[in-house]
Amino acid sequence: MPLRLALAVVAAALVLTPASVAAPGSSIIRLVDVGSGAAEAWVFLPEEPPDCVLTFVHDDGDLSPARYTSWLNYTVLRHHCAIVFPRYQVAAHTTNARNLAGLRAGVTAGLSFVRKTSFGLYHDRALTVPAITAGFGSGGALALTLSARAHEWGFPAPVAVDTVFPIVSAAAPLPSQSLPPHARVLVQVGDHDRSAGPASATAVRRYLSSHPAGLTRIQVVHSTASLAAIHSAPLRDDTAAENAFWGPLDVLIDGVTP
């Protein structure tokens, strides 16, 4: 069992807030590591009971939240969301069956902690706090599977899904099930993302063709002088990347939370 973390950190030391994004109103984040192996998850909690729970699914091989911390911290503080970051892999390039088993186990561990902690959801709020799913790279495809199978797996159905530069592969295929019909969906694809390539974007568009058009947004992130829309771009924490990726997720969350 990994060492449990309980960190109280000052927001200013962790969060980069671009001018175009509203400053967060909270000031403390608690980070807790639960579970072990593929069932491990990191839980980010605001100092007060959260207004939503966001599950973030990482790209293949990112076995900790290290590359995502700035974005996750900002989201906790900006929206008062709890975030569950499942490890789901014990090594990179695992099979789809192992990815899905680890994903289900890690999300279970993370959500269980959120529901029980005094800083998270109380049982009488569990059904009223919106669930949101986000993912990057291979995690973008797996976030769609998690969302489509949430009810089957015993999780709250997400009201919003954000998939950033998704990579569809044998290890992270698109689900056969449909997304919850009332979920708002944002897909971002990069015009210079060679890791995902046009085939992944085409596959995601085809998968979402049966989802209500009014709830679906597919955005091409175009390269500019300040941001090359390559695969690693969403993990930058400069102003251009924050506005390109953090801002659209902000809008998505704002649309489904109080």
User: 197 pLDDT band (50/70/90 cuts)?
Assistant: confident
Report in angstroms the alpha-carbon separations of 252 from 160, 169, 187, 221.
7, 26, 11, 16
Question: Is the Cα torsion angle 71, 142, 79, 81 positive or negative in sign?
Answer: negative
Sorted by where each starts, the structural domains of the chain and their CATH numbers stand as: 7-170+180-254 (3.40.50.1820)
User: 117 pLDDT band (50/70/90 cuts)?
Assistant: confident
**Average pLDDT value for the chain:** 87
What does the pLDDT read at residue 1? 36
* CA-based nearest residue to 55, from 122, 89, 104: 104
> What is the pTM (predicted TM-score) of this model?
0.88
What does the pLDDT read at residue 149? 98
Sheet containing 41-46: give its strands across.
7-10, 28-34, 41-46, 81-86, 52-57, 131-136, 160-164, 184-190, 216-221
Between CA 210 and CA 169 the distance in angstroms is 21
Lowest mean pLDDT segment, chosen from 112-116, 186-190, 250-254? 112-116
What does the pLDDT read at residue 47? 83
Residue 65 pLDDT > 60: yes
Between CA 146 and CA 193 the distance in angstroms is 23
Residue 19 pLDDT > 90: no
* CA-based nearest residue to 233, from 248, 219, 244: 244
Tokens representing 60? Answer: 């293949």
Residue 121 pLDDT > 50: yes
Between CA 45 and CA 21 the distance in angstroms is 20
Cβ contacts of 151 within 8 Å, gap of 6 or more: 157, 180
